[in-house]
Amino acid sequence: MVPTPQPLIRPLGPDDLPAAMQLVWQVFLAYDAADCSDEGVEEFRSTIALPEMRARMATQQVWLWGSFDGPCITGVIATRKPCHIMLLFVDPAFHRQGIARALVEAVLQSYRSHTAEQTLTVNASLYAAEIYQKLGFTTSAEPQFLNGIRFVPMQRPL
């Protein structure tokens, strides 16, 4: 059996943001927007707006990594303090290829070497909750609805 090649994962910089946030927005619309109110869709859109993300990156409030197939971004993960995944999106053409797992592993490795935190958290969309479960996360509270967005609070040890 030929091993599956590992995707190229690297930190994203400001020049990567337009393509990364476009991918995030397209995948959100395809898989998550239906579980949100109009307010929630607008809330999400404002969260990933380029000026907002650039400012958060510049002040080190947010860190982003991407998965690449050649020059194309195939997946994006973003985290914020203290130890929380705020975005994890993979291009549907690359689903079920280990990209989400590789992105989460990159985050885990980074946090293990840079923080004393013991737990990685996420507010998983209803669609993604099962995926996060397969990545070692467990539900930490009942599903919630905040600012028009439905999510399941989840966590896993670092």
CA 92 from centre of chain: 14
CA 28 from centre of chain: 11
How far from each other are the two terminal CA atoms of the chain, in whole angstroms?
Answer: 31
If DSSP codes are grouped into helix, strand and coil, which group holds residue 145? strand
Q: What is the pLDDT of residues 99-147, one digit of tens each?
A: 999 999 999 999 988 888 899 999 999 999 999 999 999 999 999 999 9
Residues of the chain with pLDDT > 90, as a percent, come to 90
Q: What is the pLDDT of residues 117-127, one digit of tens each?
A: 899 999 999 99
Structure tokens at 17: 């943001």
Q: Is the dihedral of CA 30, 55, 153, 45 positive or negative?
A: negative
pLDDT exceeds 60 at position 4:
no
24, amino acid identity: V
Torsion of CA 45, 50, 53, 58, to 10 degrees: -170
pTM value? 0.93
What average pLDDT score do residues 45-50 get?
A: 96
Identify the residue whose tokens are 């476009």.
22
Structure tokens at 65: 């990594």
Q: Would you state the pLDDT for residue 7?
A: 78
Q: What is the pLDDT of residues 11-30, one digit of tens each?
A: 999 999 999 999 999 999 99
Q: Which helix (H) or strand (E) holds 54?
A: helix 50-58
CA distance 42 to 47: 9
CA distance 12 to 57: 10
CA distance 24 to 33: 12
If DSSP codes are grouped into helix, strand and coil, which group holds residue 59? coil
